[in-house]
Structure 1
Amino acid sequence: MLCGTFGLAQNATISGIVLGSENEPLSNVNITANGLGTTTDPDGFYLLEITSDKETTIIFSHIAYKDVILEKLILTTNETFEFNPILKSEVTQIDGVTVSATGEKTVNGILTISPESIRKIPGANSGVETILKLLPGVSSNNELSTQYAVRGGNYDENLVYVNEIEVYRPFLIRSAQQEGLSFVNSDLVQDVKFSAGGFQAKYGDKLASVLDIKYKTPTLFSLRADLSFLGASASLETVSKNKKLSSVSGIRYRNNSLLVNSQQTKSNFNPAFTDVQSYLTYHISPKFQLNFLGNIAVNDYNNEPLNRQTNFGTIDNLQALVVYYEGQETNKYTTALGALKGSYFLNENTTLKLISSIYHTTEEEYSDVVAAYELGEVDSNLGSDTAGEVLTSRGIGSQFNRTRNDLDALIFNLEHKGTHVMNSSVLEWGAKYTHEDIRDQLRESEFIDSAGFSIRPPRPEFVNNQPSEPFTAPLIAYNGLNALNFVKTNRFSGYTQIGTHKTWNNADVYYNVGVRAHHWTVSGTDIEKVSQTVFSPRAQFAIKPEWEKDMLFRVSTGLYHQPPFYRELRDSTGTIQPNVKAQKSFHLVAGNEYSFLLWERPFTLISEAYYKKLDNVNPYTLEDVRIRYAANNTTEAYVYGAEVRMNGAFVPGTESWVSLGYLKTEENRDNKGYISRPTDQRIKFAILFQDYIPTIPDLKMYLNLVYQTGVPGGSPSYADPYIFQNRLRDYKRADLGISYIFANKDKQYPKTHWLHNFKELSLGFEIFNLFNNQNSITNTWVRDADSKNEYAVPNYLTSRVLNLRLGIRL
């Protein structure tokens, strides 16, 4: 499909509630925009469609109040923008807001992502994370995973909030195909904000990033459903007759068989990933609002591997690893979250909130898998009857893995937050108490047999001189863990920050200064009680000069601490180390945002450079998505890099972007010297592209391309990282989606037509891994009996897969 020049009228939506000076809803407020108009209902609600990709001025007027004018508003196609103005009787307000092709322009380094793009862009795990992985500073080498690494951090260094409520993920996930569903349900999302570093003090204590999700507060009834070969989802939006109670709920089912069965390991795979979520809003009075967020997720993962053949080597020396399996994996993760938030609008300048939440997870990881393998030469003669088959064996052996892991975790949060507006300044504060109760039993063992004898671990006490000297060491597992941990952590944290907007020499100047404090105590059965405290000052500064070009410059800096969570306290033997300190990172981020018109359409060029200095680092190993910490603070590290991203309407009525990033991160363990960290993702290039056929504008195309250089990894689990600094192969992937729009808000039908009842109806297909690239995330290590060489046999990820998809909204 080619980029056409055919123009197409596309719309965006602005909605919200209009309030008076006492925070009471105002009815019959006139809202006009470029000849279009509407009025608020008795509860102050309004909904207005405007032309997208075009600068718009919106005026809110009422006979008893002064006008509110929203200027320089540019929304992208199908974007929904929420604006809740307060009309006053004594002064006229002029609110200048510039919205670029990616959303609301901000000065604190927060990127806003369109929810419509999230729902449309194809991906093996479609949703918020698929979009994030196309950003230059975000990397993930596994399409089945919803986890991501940001600017040299690992998966545990990212904060995720849904309507100001912190959410968590299961603890025991070790491979991406076990993950199933992300917590965030993209059908319920209204607003997505993301910061890759240098974020404000009001956000929590992590080292890498913040994902700030806002679920919808519906104003109309709506029912949405999505069906595909990978599963199904449905969401329901409701509003009571008096508009006081609204709810948005969703149910999802996912089955990864289509993707997992495209891998080289053939198996009887029976996963069932299901979750139900609901977010309710109740306006008790104009001054008090109550919200509830609930989630229940059940992930059943059953896998019975059968066999596998992986060819590797060269054409002249083609070899294969053939594996036959017995046994199965049975894993189950059951999680539940309930949260209640109360918001009290003391007056037009002060808002007080109280948030409580409880998260409970029970996780079982049981497996007994025997793998008998053969390493041999492959018949590479294409004309032979045995082409592709193993002719001669050069190594045989077997491996038995047994796992019996159980975890029960309960996390309780109670938090107060407040906001006070003072002329051109905003004061924010908060205090939070967290209680974590973790009960964990680890029982893992791995036995390796080669040619009739059991191999002991590669440790000094098992070095022998047989047959010259008798060797009487006991037979034990090659790798083994056996631990029982009962750990409780109590945390007290708080923050205060102030943000100010001033004018200096006709330039707009913004700054935000704040500080966080975190005190925690670790205790438990047979565990020494340890308490620690950290402080984290942070600051952001931005200036928008009065230039003809729309430029914004920003700088952010600060200290970011990450007090250890349960897994960071557990070392490689499963033992809890309560004295582990908080990892510390100094951030320095400088960025520029340039908004401009190209081909009479809005574009934005965003560039950032960053540097991080890390101390008290807790080193770890990474295998697939499983992180194992050393549970010490003997390492220091650094990260630096630069990113650039250009986004806008490359095709009229669409949003696309191109991004490029470079980073380097190294660590120094025990003063041995600097080596690359497991997340040293040097080059990242990504494209998100949307298009349509000019003569058939309802036929849409969505494409995302990712290229990432290989990260250090794939070494044996016992390997010394100072010896094994091998890198995985480069990660290359393209996902394509093509759909036909039968009905949407711009394409409605009369009552006599069968499509009249559909607000949206689309049908299409997706091709994952379009070019069938062979990506790998780990290696299987096997030894050649003849040469004594040890080979790294890649464990390839998913190959090309076709998926059909049907979308409905009533």
Structure 2
Amino acid sequence: MYVRGYVVDGRNNGLEAINVAIVGSEQGTQTNDKGYYELAVDSRTADTVVYFGLGYKDTFRALPIHIDKSITINVVLQRDTTELKTVDISAIRRDKGTMSNIDTRVLRLTPDAAGGVESLVKMQLGVHSANELSSQYSVRGGSFDENSVYVNGIEVYRPLLVRSSQQEGMSFINPDMVGKVNFSAGGFAAKYGDKMSSVLDIEYKKPSAFEGNVTAGFMGLSAYVGYADDKFTMAHGIRYKTNQYLLADKLKLKNGKAIFKGLDTKGDFDNSFVDYQTFINYNITPKVSLSLLGNVSQNLYNFVPKTQRVQFGTLTVQREFNVLFRGLEKDRFATYFGAFTLDYQPSHTTDLKLTASAFNTSESENYDLIGAYSLSDVSYDNSGDKKTELLGRGVFHEHARNRLSATVVSLIHSGKSRLLSSDVEWGISAAKELITDRIREYERRDSSHYSVPHDGSEIRMVYNLTSNNSTNTTRLQAYVQQTRKFGWLGADYSLNVGIRANYWSFNNELLLSPRLNLNINPRWKRDFMFRLAAGVYYQSPFYKEIRQTFTDSLGNSRINLNTDIKAQRSLHLLAGMDYFFRLWRRPFKFTAELYYKPADRIIPYSVDNVRVRYVGENQAVAYTAGIDVKLFGEFVPGVDSWISFSYMNSREDIVRIGGDLSGDHYSVHTNKGTYLGEIYPGYIPRPNEQRYSVSLFFQDYVPNHPEYKLNLKLVWADGLPFGPPRSERYQAVYRTKPYRRVDIGASREFVRGRDRLLGRQQIIKTLGLHLDLLNLFDIRNESSFYWVSDVSGSQWAVPNHLTGFMVNLRVSVDF
């Protein structure tokens, strides 16, 4: 027999993750995303059910004395309005499966150069990033393109032409509109799409009353407003961002020295990133609702560089690279997105959805930059005076006229129901993908008044690339998965089994992806939870992966589309555990995960800043193996902090190039030209292999004055492999310096009814003042490299540094 029903709030909104348990026993369950629950009961021993959840008062319901059939109990929970003496509500959630919940309440307090939900994602297990200006991230050795992002069950896309992090602007996700965030670094269920590394699942909130907030700072502003009545909810958010303050160094001392250090390249930045989003929901009947999710964004990046000065080298050998620029860069990225969803609930156990969506991006990249550069040796005499010796000089000219337009129109049906004591979810979708690509870019280099490369007969480019391609393809996807809970051998189990299918008309490839997740909660030790996951995961190509570059004898390169491309394939094997314990009378959770991901049909790629360029052919096999550990809990009473450590090994071996099945190799000769044999590099580090990573997020507050808060974020990660531009993959034998960064945020929050500053007015609920100290120790991390030659012919990798120490001030108002 079962007790079933809904748990709702005062406005009849279903409450998710509310605990429902039989008092005095270990029987319990949680409500789903609609607030529905179903709990098996023993009529001989059960007499009272308790309902409890974070932020709500415990509610008890007595069961009838004699239960001879299943009954329905619907419960309305009241908010717990007890005034807290600490900073924030803290709770350790028992995440189930490989999906973990991210608490976004600390987002406003988190100091970060890029901002956004991704700043918290980068602190999760297995996630790596080496660029504070970008919202992109790598998960367990994968590329930036291997991460799925869903908003309200709809997959969203990133711009395709973005070359550097300062062009990138804002991510799709609006932090002000976020309700729930779940993330998985691998082993995720079949309902999530065909990507090999991770999934970020975002659900926008439905406001329960009129609400809003405004935030303004040195790096932009945002505004949000929400409204609700009995049948209608709406939320609107607008964001404006500029990174001029981060990139430039306008503030200087009397001696001309910059107070804050921007990028190495100095000039006039004129860029702006604007984004508007709306989420509207209307309940037509108690069982039928219609919603709209819409987005319009425009990113403008205009830059007139003037000078660049980089000092680099070792303690014994120091170099200085100087450039005088002419020209400008002018880029535009415009994105439009809309999705209508019809939601029908024929019963309390079944939910059916039909979604029609459209996405369009229009991108243009234009630059003509001429730079006169010099490379010098730097030394200091006994008196400390600086001496330079010229090693080489030259001129480069970089030119681009790139255009890309992409449109994706899709129709999606998804559903879930409770059948035969298990939860069944399914989905099917059809999408039309239209992409047009026009690339015209080149680089000319003049060294000692000779065009490089020099053959004495004609002017040649050191690099040039052209593309004129279009695609018109259809993609079909479907999945079905079942989740069943049962008890066996002294433990409670949750088993999720599913399969996913994908067909793409471009290469006529059908993919089948079986996946399994098993979660174990021992009854003998409730402080432990274990999980196992296994499955086949494909990286179904979108567009960048199918572009294959061909170079003729004169060095001219063009892009063709490879219709023989296959989806990259990986096997995920994962074992993890959570240990819940109390220390200093406060809750903590220790998490550990071991994983092994062999892969084949890999498409090798290179990374320059945030631009990923694929070779456009399945050439390699690869593997990634590692361990992630995390300690999460109340190091300070009432607020959550955590520290995590990751270690991994991610390698690939190029086993074929075109029709050559011998793979990657090169010949070895003596100085006199005598052939000695072939060298096969074998497994080499993948471009995003950061072998170790340590991250720390710490919250604190002033004792007896919790309105004064302090947040600290620390990252220390291994450097990334790199090599000369347009070289063979096995030549990437260098590594950037370790990525190290410390950000500190301090804030003061004024609350209506508690602080005199807000008086008795009824409009403003809270007022927050925030001070962010970014890159506190002014460590100049490296994003990419420019390669130059000296008079002896030796090549030098000149680093392009990221931002230095900065200060950001923000003001936030909630009403």
TM-score with structure 1 setting the length:
0.85
* Partner in structure 1 of residue 721 of structure 2: 712
Within a 5 Å distance, the mapping from 1:560-571 to structure 2 comes to 560-571=537-548
Does the alignment pair 1:556 with 2:533?
yes
Q: Partners in 2 of 1:220 and 1:46 — Cα distance?
A: 16
Q: Specify the SS of the correspondent of 2:119.
A: helix
Alpha carbons of 1:58 and 1:108: their partners in 2 closer, same or farther (altered >3 Å)?
closer
* Partner in structure 2 of residue 40 of structure 1: 10
Per-residue CA deviation, residues 326-369 of structure 1 (Å, 9 max, x unaligned), is 10100000000000111100111211110111000111100000
* Partner in structure 2 of residue 132 of structure 1: 121
Greater displacement, 264-273 / 568-577: 568-577
Does the alignment pair 1:797 with 2:811?
no
* Partner in structure 2 of residue 412 of structure 1: 409
Alpha carbons of 1:373 and 1:70: their partners in 2 closer, same or farther (altered >3 Å)?
farther
Greater displacement, 653-662 / 120-129: 120-129
Does the alignment pair 1:777 with 2:777?
no
* Partner in structure 2 of residue 479 of structure 1: 463
Q: Partners in 2 of 1:142 and 1:435 — Cα distance?
A: 33
Within a 5 Å distance, the mapping from 1:80-119 to structure 2 comes to 90-91=70-71, 104-119=93-108
Q: CA deviation at 1:48?
A: 14
Q: Partners in 2 of 1:576 and 1:494 — Cα distance?
A: 26
Alpha carbons of 1:47 and 1:775: their partners in 2 closer, same or farther (altered >3 Å)?
closer
Q: Specify the SS of the correspondent of 2:690.
A: coil
Conserved? CA contact 1:68–1:93, under 8 Å: no
Alpha carbons of 1:604 and 1:454: their partners in 2 closer, same or farther (altered >3 Å)?
same
* Partner in structure 2 of residue 622 of structure 1: 607
Q: CA deviation at 1:626?
A: 0.5
Q: Partners in 1 of 2:794 and 2:581 — Cα distance?
A: 58
Conserved? CA contact 1:219–1:239, under 8 Å: yes
The amino acid that maps onto 1:564 is P
The amino acid that maps onto 1:91 is I
Alpha carbons of 1:640 and 1:80: their partners in 2 closer, same or farther (altered >3 Å)?
farther
Alpha carbons of 1:233 and 1:723: their partners in 2 closer, same or farther (altered >3 Å)?
same
Q: Partners in 1 of 2:471 and 2:47 — Cα distance?
A: 58
Alpha carbons of 1:48 and 1:559: their partners in 2 closer, same or farther (altered >3 Å)?
closer
* Partner in structure 1 of residue 679 of structure 2: none
* Partner in structure 2 of residue 192 of structure 1: 181
Q: Partners in 1 of 2:466 and 2:401 — Cα distance?
A: 10
Q: Partners in 2 of 1:609 and 1:93 — Cα distance?
A: 42
Per-residue CA deviation, residues 149-174 of structure 1 (Å, 9 max, x unaligned), is 00111000000000101111111001
Conserved? CA contact 2:90–2:639, under 8 Å: no
1:256 counterpart (243, 253, 257): 243
Q: Partners in 1 of 2:246 and 2:566 — Cα distance?
A: 40
1:642 counterpart (627, 632, 635): 627
Q: Partners in 2 of 1:511 and 1:116 — Cα distance?
A: 31
Per-residue CA deviation, residues 16-58 of structure 1 (Å, 9 max, x unaligned), is xxx996x8xxxxx9x9xxxxxxx735x56899999xxxx9999
Q: CA deviation at 1:247?
A: 0.9
Does the alignment pair 1:702 with 2:672?
no
Q: CA deviation at 1:721?
A: 2.1
Q: Specify the SS of the correspondent of 1:147.
A: coil
Q: Partners in 2 of 1:58 and 1:571 — Cα distance?
A: 50
The amino acid that maps onto 1:442 is I
* Partner in structure 2 of residue 743 of structure 1: 751
Within a 5 Å distance, the mapping from 1:23-62 to structure 2 comes to 40-41=10-11, 43=12
* Partner in structure 2 of residue 183 of structure 1: 172
Per-residue CA deviation, residues 222-255 of structure 1 (Å, 9 max, x unaligned), is 1101111000001001113xx2110111100000
Q: CA deviation at 1:594?
A: 1.3
Q: Partners in 2 of 1:223 and 1:211 — Cα distance?
A: 25
* Partner in structure 2 of residue 211 of structure 1: 200
Within a 5 Å distance, the mapping from 1:152-301 to structure 2 comes to 152-240=141-229, 243-261=230-248, 262-301=262-301
Q: Specify the SS of the correspondent of 2:107.
A: helix
* Partner in structure 1 of residue 675 of structure 2: none
Q: Partners in 2 of 1:143 and 1:408 — Cα distance?
A: 28
Q: CA deviation at 1:140?
A: 0.9
The amino acid that maps onto 2:189 is Q
* Partner in structure 2 of residue 362 of structure 1: 362
Does the alignment pair 1:757 with 2:763?
yes
Alpha carbons of 1:750 and 1:801: their partners in 2 closer, same or farther (altered >3 Å)?
closer
Within a 5 Å distance, the mapping from 1:386-401 to structure 2 comes to 387=385, 391-401=388-398
Q: Partners in 2 of 1:407 and 1:178 — Cα distance?
A: 15
Q: Partners in 2 of 1:730 and 1:791 — Cα distance?
A: 19
* Partner in structure 1 of residue 774 of structure 2: 768
Conserved? CA contact 1:315–1:380, under 8 Å: no
The amino acid that maps onto 1:793 is V
* Partner in structure 2 of residue 492 of structure 1: 476
* Partner in structure 2 of residue 733 of structure 1: 741
Alpha carbons of 1:498 and 1:446: their partners in 2 closer, same or farther (altered >3 Å)?
same
Greater displacement, 591-600 / 186-195: 591-600
Conserved? CA contact 2:182–2:202, under 8 Å: yes
Alpha carbons of 1:538 and 1:797: their partners in 2 closer, same or farther (altered >3 Å)?
same
Conserved? CA contact 2:288–2:342, under 8 Å: yes
Conserved? CA contact 1:394–1:784, under 8 Å: yes
Conserved? CA contact 1:434–1:491, under 8 Å: yes
Alpha carbons of 1:318 and 1:561: their partners in 2 closer, same or farther (altered >3 Å)?
closer
Q: CA deviation at 1:319?
A: 2.3
The amino acid that maps onto 1:402 is H
Alpha carbons of 1:503 and 1:372: their partners in 2 closer, same or farther (altered >3 Å)?
same
Alpha carbons of 1:751 and 1:124: their partners in 2 closer, same or farther (altered >3 Å)?
closer
Q: Partners in 1 of 2:52 and 2:175 — Cα distance?
A: 28
The amino acid that maps onto 2:164 is S
TM-score with structure 2 setting the length:
0.85
Q: Partners in 2 of 1:707 and 1:795 — Cα distance?
A: 19
Q: Partners in 1 of 2:335 and 2:165 — Cα distance?
A: 18
Q: Specify the SS of the correspondent of 2:635.
A: coil
Does the alignment pair 1:574 with 2:553?
no
The amino acid that maps onto 1:773 is I
Does the alignment pair 1:450 with 2:447?
yes
Does the alignment pair 1:587 with 2:587?
no
Conserved? CA contact 2:565–2:617, under 8 Å: yes
Greater displacement, 224-233 / 596-605: 596-605
Alpha carbons of 1:618 and 1:67: their partners in 2 closer, same or farther (altered >3 Å)?
farther
Tell me, which stretches of 5 or more residues in structure 2 are unaligned? Answer: 20-25, 37-45, 76-88, 249-261, 550-557, 656-662, 665-681
Conserved? CA contact 1:616–1:636, under 8 Å: yes
Q: CA deviation at 1:560?
A: 0.5
Q: Partners in 2 of 1:687 and 1:114 — Cα distance?
A: 16
The amino acid that maps onto 1:566 is Y
Conserved? CA contact 1:483–1:575, under 8 Å: yes
Conserved? CA contact 1:58–1:69, under 8 Å: no
Q: Partners in 2 of 1:68 and 1:567 — Cα distance?
A: 58
Conserved? CA contact 1:102–1:114, under 8 Å: no
The amino acid that maps onto 1:621 is S
* Partner in structure 2 of residue 438 of structure 1: 435
Per-residue CA deviation, residues 457-516 of structure 1 (Å, 9 max, x unaligned), is xxxxx7x6xxxxxx53x3222111111011112011101111100111342111011101
Tell me, which stretches of 5 or more residues in structure 1 are unaligned? Answer: 1-18, 24-28, 32-38, 457-461, 465-470, 523-529
Alpha carbons of 1:600 and 1:295: their partners in 2 closer, same or farther (altered >3 Å)?
same
Q: CA deviation at 1:380?
A: 3.0
* Partner in structure 2 of residue 468 of structure 1: none
Per-residue CA deviation, residues 682-737 of structure 1 (Å, 9 max, x unaligned), is 00100000000104321100111000011102x22222221231111100001110
Q: Partners in 2 of 1:560 and 1:712 — Cα distance?
A: 25
Conserved? CA contact 2:568–2:603, under 8 Å: yes
Q: Partners in 2 of 1:370 and 1:149 — Cα distance?
A: 33
* Partner in structure 1 of residue 323 of structure 2: 323
